[in-house]
A and B are shown apart, each in its own frame.
Chain A
């Protein structure tokens, strides 16, 4: 085990964390501002990947595919929001969970009908098919660095949008008192639709970025959605900063756990026992972290100050 190997897994963790963040950012905005649990957020991730795959195959260019897939996901997100979700904002969480659970089933089946049960893969985009030598002599795939960079760009963009613009002010105001903002003459419905649109695009984008690595398949959104929910719980509901940091923590724990936990356990137990306990523990580790945080800080690491 050398530094380069550890660094590589750390970068892997960052890359995973950034995908999680793209999903969790939208989810936490929607949750914090509209008090709305959207399980179908993972479906937008899946739909994004399928759109990107289709458009990449049509145009023969991954970049062009993404450019076309983003508006497509936005459209799907807006249609879902206007047709199905809007009526649910005033409902309790149970109704929201159940209705969006229904949407997950619906989307899975719809995608299966349109694209077939096998899923889609695209050839790795040649423009990014090279490795970068980082300081310290570590070589790392450029595409994964792109994902990490994208995560930082989105995080910074959201920080500017929410913290520095008039729109962001309205979003924050909407989060702390919906009715009052509405009474002051802001079209709260439009604001919600806008926020939902941002969330949909970010989720779709995460799916598109994942596509060259893992392909598009049915049910891909569910696992990452549940992890994004854990991120939100750890980070504090409604907090983008919390989501960002918690995503990175989760990505790191997952990547490093997968890579090194078994070796680490070998210090303490026999090889056979470590071989059994390693994978089990590393799969459970993020949830164990969540349980621990819950015990000491039930409101999450960075709860938003406004509430």
Chain B
């Protein structure tokens, strides 16, 4: 076991991941306030990406409507804030549960279909929610509303002040780590085995006596709730919620983050979110027409980088190992 982990770390991919996590851990020591905000935002998107990766990468469910759960959770936080309720113990569980309820409803209907239908129907349901939130005058429709302050966590002897930039950053970072660990445990459990099995061959899974619908739906709801966590963090981060949070391009961006990082790979969405947003920052500095470059970049990634960043690092390790004759690497795929 220990040797196995060591072998994972002593590889280009392992070194990159450890270095990245250390970089993120000590970020406030060298990043300006602006960049701490940028990275907080990136990590929140990474959490949303991790949740999408669970169903898309491990379950083959191509949801083109994952922004729905961001929106439901964000609007829940906004709704409480509008009532003057900022208690995190109230806001957060309700937001997560509502995201779960909505994803259970959408999942129950959508999972009756496959492939193309599934893509379009998840998209259509998210559009439905988009128009629903847009039609609510109470939340100023298209314009959206500001939230006065972030959620409050008062433990009596100690108060977690989310308005503090560093506290919020470390909270998001901690949640990201928990999400990674959770997905890692989940996909390597029996549940995960069924999920992955249903992706590669659903008919065979059913033939060996596993009714996959329940597993797939459960994964769909877990992903929805996890995305809800990202949504409530997003509402707290921006302290502003508008229907744009569940626009269809957000769902598209989320898929891109997953695929760019490497779909079906644990760290994929983290890589994906980092590269995606740092690229936007970078291109945005050069030209206001950054989408002109981003669009074709997306096409090129799809055409030529099918395993994503994480897959590319893994491939590099594989090449090195073959080159220096350090045995087989067949077990890489499963355990990461």
Residues of A within 8 A of B117 (CB): 233, 237, 298
Q: Report if B294 contacts A (CB, 8 A).
A: yes
Residues of A within 8 A of B110 (CB): 294
Cβ of A97 and Cβ of B299 under 8 Å apart?
no
Cβ of B125 and Cβ of A287 under 8 Å apart?
yes
Q: A87-B303, A233-B121 are in contact. Are A102 and B295 (CB under 8 A)?
A: yes
B186 to chain A, nearest CB (A): 21
Q: Which B residues, 244 to 277, have Cβ-Cβ distances below 8 Å to chain A?
A: 248-249, 252, 255-256, 259, 263
Q: Report if A6 contacts B (CB, 8 A).
A: no
- How far apart sit A169 and B285, CA to CA, in the bound complex (Å)? 53
CB-CB nearest in chain A for B138: A276
B134 to chain A, nearest CB (A): 7
Cβ of A94 and Cβ of B255 under 8 Å apart?
yes
CB-CB nearest in chain B for A95: B302
Cβ of A283 and Cβ of B294 under 8 Å apart?
no
Residues of A within 8 A of B62 (CB): 93-94, 97
Residues of B within 8 A of A31 (CB): 116
Q: Report if A160 contacts B (CB, 8 A).
A: no
Place the interface of chain B in its size category.
35 or more
- Please tell me which one of the listed residues B119, B252, B306 contacts residue A37 in the complex, with CB atoms under 8 A apart: B119
- How far apart sit A99 and B67, CA to CA, in the bound complex (Å)? 19
Q: Report if B128 contacts A (CB, 8 A).
A: yes
- How far apart sit A101 and B256, CA to CA, in the bound complex (Å)? 9
Q: Which B residues, 32 to 62, have Cβ-Cβ distances below 8 Å to chain A?
A: 56, 62
CB-CB nearest in chain A for B117: A233
- How far apart sit A106 and B302, CA to CA, in the bound complex (Å)? 15
Q: Which A residues, 9 to 32, have Cβ-Cβ distances below 8 Å to chain B?
A: 31
Q: Is the interface of B mostly helix, strand, loop or mixed?
A: helix
- How far apart sit A31 and B115, CA to CA, in the bound complex (Å)? 12
Q: Report if A81 contacts B (CB, 8 A).
A: no
Interface string of B274-317 (1 = CB under 8 A from A): 00000000000000010110111111011100100000000000
Residues of A within 8 A of B132 (CB): 280, 283-284
Q: Report if A291 contacts B (CB, 8 A).
A: yes
Q: Report if A119 contacts B (CB, 8 A).
A: no
Cβ of A109 and Cβ of B120 under 8 Å apart?
no
Cβ of B125 and Cβ of A291 under 8 Å apart?
yes
Q: A294-B121, A295-B109 are in contact. Are A105 and B259 (CB under 8 A)?
A: no
Q: Report if A273 contacts B (CB, 8 A).
A: no
CB-CB nearest in chain A for B128: A287
B162 to chain A, nearest CB (A): 32
Residues of B within 8 A of A106 (CB): 291-292, 295-296, 299
Cβ of B291 and Cβ of A108 under 8 Å apart?
yes
Interface residues in A, total, Cβ within 8 A: 44
Q: Report if A103 contacts B (CB, 8 A).
A: yes
Q: A284-B131, A288-B128 are in contact. Are A229 and B295 (CB under 8 A)?
A: no
Interface string of A89-124 (1 = CB under 8 A from B): 001011101110111111111101100000000000
Q: Which A residues, 170 to 189, have Cβ-Cβ distances below 8 Å to chain B?
A: none
Residues of A within 8 A of B56 (CB): 94
Cβ of A102 and Cβ of B302 under 8 Å apart?
yes
Q: Report if A269 contacts B (CB, 8 A).
A: no
Q: Report if A290 contacts B (CB, 8 A).
A: yes
Interface string of A147-166 (1 = CB under 8 A from B): 00000000000000000000
CB-CB nearest in chain A for B141: A279
Residues of A within 8 A of B128 (CB): 284, 287-288
Q: Which B residues, 210 to 257, have Cβ-Cβ distances below 8 Å to chain A?
A: 248-249, 252, 255-256
Q: Report if B164 contacts A (CB, 8 A).
A: no
Q: Report if A230 contacts B (CB, 8 A).
A: yes
Cβ of B255 and Cβ of A226 under 8 Å apart?
no
Residues of B within 8 A of A291 (CB): 109, 125
Interface centre among B64, B128, B295 (most CB of A within 10 A): B295
CB-CB nearest in chain A for B255: A98
Residues of A within 8 A of B127 (CB): 226, 287
- Please tell me which one of the listed residues A103, A226, A295 contacts residue B295 in the complex, with CB atoms under 8 A apart: A103
Chain B: residues with CB nearer than 8 A to chain A?
A: 56, 62, 64, 109-110, 112-113, 115-117, 119-121, 123-125, 127-128, 131-132, 134-137, 248-249, 252, 255-256, 259, 263, 289, 291-292, 294-299, 301-303, 306
Could you list 7 further interchain pairs (A-B, Cβ under 8 angstroms) beyond the known A222-B248, A237-B116, A283-B132? A93-B62, A93-B116, A98-B256, A102-B296, A109-B295, A229-B123, A298-B113
A–B Cβ pairs within 8 angstroms, 15 of them: A91-B302, A94-B56, A94-B62, A95-B306, A99-B299, A102-B296, A102-B298, A105-B294, A109-B292, A110-B292, A233-B121, A276-B136, A283-B131, A291-B109, A294-B109
